[in-house]
Amino acid sequence: MIPWSPLGGGFLSGKYRRGEEPPEDSRIAGAVESMEEHWERRATDRNWATLEVVGKISEEIGRSYAQISLNWLLRQHGVTSPIIGARTLEQLEDNLGATGWELIAEQVNELSETSALEDVYPYRFIREAQRV
């Protein structure tokens, strides 16, 4: 799998803040409602919770939000290479810093749990049926 927009239009870069509008020059600020990068699609409770975990890990290990997010993605089964969308040389260099090191298992697990998508039908039904 080759994931497109692995930083969610820059959402996982750490430049966005809960309760604030996106910076005017950002990719998300310019996204119209029909686009995947639209602010309402990105500024969800699950995404803010994920960003909080990324920030905590960033403080712990001294890596950028983007590096942590991309490193986590590279640890996912089936992912061969993300398609990064750096708009500046600085962003590209930062993104490339996601390689050559690894998050520890606890960090990968915490990010995976926090960012997990909700089960939808029929998967939710199957999971619940298996508990009975």
pLDDT in tens, 22-66: 988 888 988 999 988 899 989 999 999 999 999 999 999 999 999
Tell me how many degrees the CA angle 14-2-45 measures, rounded to the nearest 5.
Answer: 35
Residue with structure tokens 């930062």? 94
Cα(90)–Cα(79) distance, integer angstroms = 24
pLDDT of residue 102: 97
Sketch the domain layout of the chain as residue ranges.
Answer: 11-131
CATH class of domain segment(s) 11-131: alpha beta
pLDDT in tens, 104-119: 999 999 999 999 988 8
120 — pLDDT class (breaks 50, 70, 90): confident
